[in-house]
Amino acid sequence: MSKRIAFFDSGLGGLTVLSKAMDELPNEDFLFFADTLHVPYGVKKTEDVKRFIHQSIETIVKEDVKAVVIACNTATSLAITELRDKYEIPVIGMEPAVKPAVEINRPTGKRVLVFATAITLKESKYIDLVRRVDDINIVDSLPLPELVEFCEALNFDNNVINDYFLKKLENYDLNEYGTVVLGCTHYPFYKRFLMKLLPKHIQIVDGSKGTIKRLTQILNANSICNLSGKHDVKFLCSNHSEEYLRKMKTALDIFRDIT
C-alpha cells in the first residue's frame, strides 16, 4: 500500500491546507496531526514551541508517512531548517504569501496587510522575507491571536467575528490597501467574513496554493505519487481526545463547504 502524506499544525488551521491538497491530489491518502496539547503556538515562548514541534513530528514519522507538510506558518518559521536536516523524507513548509502580494501591488503602490501570529511576525524568517521582497516599503503586519481561539472553538458567529475585525482594523485606512495576506493557516476559515467587510478592490491571498504546488512537484520529482489512493484522511492529535478527532472532521467539512 502506498504511504500517506502527513499534514501538521498546532490545531485546526492546517485543515485549510489539507483541503487544498484533497482538491489537487485525488489519488493520495492523508494523515492530519494536530498538537492539541499545546495549541495555540503563536503566543507561546519560541523555545517551548520548537520543542512541541519536534515532539509532534517524531510522532508523525512513526506513522511511516512519505512526506510531511508543515501546514503552519509559525512552525515553519521556527523549525523548518532543523526538520529538513533531521528527516530523510521531504518536509514542505509554508510562509506568508508576501512576495506575490507585493508584486500584485507594485503597479498601483497600494499597501499590503499581512495577518499572522506574533511568533511568525517577529521571527527572522519573516523579517528577512519582507526585507528581500518589499523594496518599495508597502508591507504592514498585524497579529490576530484571538482568531486562532475562535477557530479552535468553531466560533463562526457573525456578530462576534465582524465586531472583532472592525475593532482590529479601526486604525487602518483600508482604501490604502490592495491586498491582505492570510499568513496563519487558521485564518482562511474567516475569509468570507473579511470578503464582506473589506473594500471590494482588496484581494485576499494565502499560502495554500503555493504549498500544494510545491508538494506536487516534490512527489513527482521523487516518484512517490500514489495512483490508487482513496482520498482517505486519518486524524490524530497529541492529547488523543476523541472529541477533538470529531471536531477535526467537522471543521474539515465546514471548510470544504464554504470554499
CA nearest to 30, candidates 58, 13, 6, 63: 6
Q: Looking at 20-28, 54-62, 67-75, 189-197, which segment touches ligand DGL (CB under 6 A)?
A: 67-75
List the one residue from 7, 30, 41, 115 that touches ligand DGL (CB under 6 A).
41
Minimal CA–CA distance to 58: which of 245, 250, 225, 236?
Answer: 236
Nearest to 78 by CA among 104, 50, 98: 50
Q: Of 6-14, 107-115, 125-133, 191-199, which part binds ligand DGL (CB under 6 A)?
A: 6-14
Cell numbers 489539507 correspond to what residue? 18
Half-sphere exposure of 124 toward its Cβ, with a 13 Å CA cutoff?
A: 3
Position among 5, 184, 204, 212 found at the interface with ligand DGL (CB under 6 A): 184
- Residue located via cell numbers 512552525: 75
The site map against ligand DGL for 202-221 (x = CB under 6 A) is: --------------------
Give the end-to-end CA distance of the chain in Å, rounded to a whole number: 31
How many amino acids of this chain bind ligand DGL (CB under 6 A)?
17
* List 42, 93, 188, 229, residue binding ligand DGL (CB under 6 A): 42
Contact residues for 249 (Cβ-Cβ < 8 A; gap 6+): 235
> Per-residue string for binding with ligand DGL, 120-159, x by CB under 6 A?
x---------------------------x-----------
CA dist., res. 114 & res. 98, Å (int): 7
Q: CB 68: neighbour CB atoms within 10 A?
A: 25
Active site residue 184: yes
The piece of 3-11, 100-108, 131-139, 167-175 that touches ligand DGL (CB under 6 A) is: 3-11
What whole-number distance in Å separates Cα of residue 50 and Cα of residue 52? Answer: 5
**Residues 152, 39: contact at Cβ < 8 Å?**
yes
Is 74 a binding residue for ligand DGL by CB under 6 A? The answer is yes
What is the rounded CA–CA span in Å between residue 74 and residue 204?
19
Assess 9 for contact with ligand DGL (CB under 6 A): yes
Single out the segment in contact with ligand DGL by CB under 6 A; choices: 18-26, 53-61, 101-109, 184-192.
Answer: 184-192
Q: Catalytic site residue 72?
A: yes
Site residues, ligand DGL (CB under 6 A): 9-11, 13, 39-42, 72-74, 117, 120, 148, 184-186
Residue ranges of the annotated binding site for substrate are 9-10, 41-42, 73-74, 185-186
Catalytic residues: 72, 184
